[in-house]
Amino acid sequence: MVIAIIGILASLSLVAIAKIREDGRKDEARRQIRALLNATSEYFSDVGAYPVSSSVLNSVSASHGDFTYGGASLDAVFKGPGNWSMNNSEVIAILMDREKYPATGAPTVNFGHVKNTGQKKYLTSVDMAADTASPGVGPDLVYRDPWGKPYIISFDLNYDERCRDALYGKSSVSREKGSSGFNGLFNSDADGASDQFEYHGPVMIWSLGSDRNADLGPANSGLNRDNILSWN
């Protein structure tokens, strides 16, 4: 009997420890997201633009839209209307003033400091990972959350103070009632049926959370329920 009780207590302790660790990862993700927001805001104050490549600016200029830097695991989810890229390495190269990718030595979009002429380190105190699967900034300059997945970053590149994310802009994800969306998002269409849900602000950053995944279902349930959002 005593042994059985000890076993039960040990199991409960393991569950409690696991929860504490997971809560710690969530807090760390929120801290990193805040740091990214602060870095992009400071960069904008100095440069008057957001930390994106010239090719992105050209593509957005042609489509008059915003832009999302995502992760390869969301390829299938992001297919369809909207502008997006596979990862956030361009943003990180600019904010950390990196001219070359550590993994290959290939030039980044900031080669010659063209996107960071002041050579200022806007993003500091970040962990540098030795591989492309661990949390932190990897040798590919992708910034990954505490679960090892890239942060998704969207910018308001038409400067109308309305930012549309490639996933959260979709009606199937953000529509709550009519033009009102989950987590404070809104739609210019009264019925909210179009994929135009937006955030009142210039930047949206989020993490896939502990399940390391997202889908086209509602933002408050399923795979999206544990996502960690800068605007929530």
Query: Is it the case that residue 16 has pLDDT exceeding 90?
Result: no
Q: Tokens 């997202």 sit at which residue?
A: 214
* 14 — pLDDT class (breaks 50, 70, 90): low
Mean predicted lDDT score pLDDT of the chain: 91
Q: How far is CA 136 from CA 18, 140, 147, in A?
A: 21, 11, 10
Residue 15 predicted with pLDDT over 70: no
Contact 27, 83 (CB under 8 A): no
Q: Is the pTM of this model over 0.85?
A: yes
Report the pLDDT averaged over residues 147-157. 96
pLDDT, residue 20, reads: 75
- CA-wise closest residue to 126 among 27, 209, 32: 32
Band of pLDDT at residue 224, cut at 50, 70 and 90: very high
CB count in 10 Å sphere of residue 131: 11
Strands 84-85, 67-69: pairing kind:
parallel
Q: What HEC string does the chain produce?
A: CHHHHHHHHHHHHHHHHHHHHHHHHHHHHHHHHHHHHHHHHHHHHHHCCCCCCHHHHHHHHHHCCCEEECCHHHHHHHCCCCCEECCCHHHHHHHCCCCECCCCCCECCCHHHCCCCCCCCCCCCCCECCCCCCCEECCCCCEECCCCCECEEEECCCCCCEECCCCCCCHHHHEEECCEEHHHCEECCCCCCCCCEEEECCEEEEECCCCCCCCCCCCCCHHHCCCEECCC
pLDDT at 84: 83
Here the tokens at position 69 are 């830097």
In this prediction, what percent of the chain has a pLDDT beyond 70? 91
Of residues 105, 114, 91, the one with CA closest to residue 36: 91
Instruction: Look at residue 7 in the predicted model and tell me its pLDDT.
Output: 64
pLDDT of 78-131, one tens digit each? Answer: 776 567 888 999 999 999 999 999 999 999 999 999 999 999 999 999 999 999
Among candidate residues 84, 47, 76, 28, the one with its CA nearest the CA of residue 204: 84
132-147 pLDDT, tens digit each:
999 999 999 999 999 9
Is residue 180 within 8 Å of residue 116, measured between CB atoms? no
Q: What is the mean pLDDT of residues 192-204?
A: 96
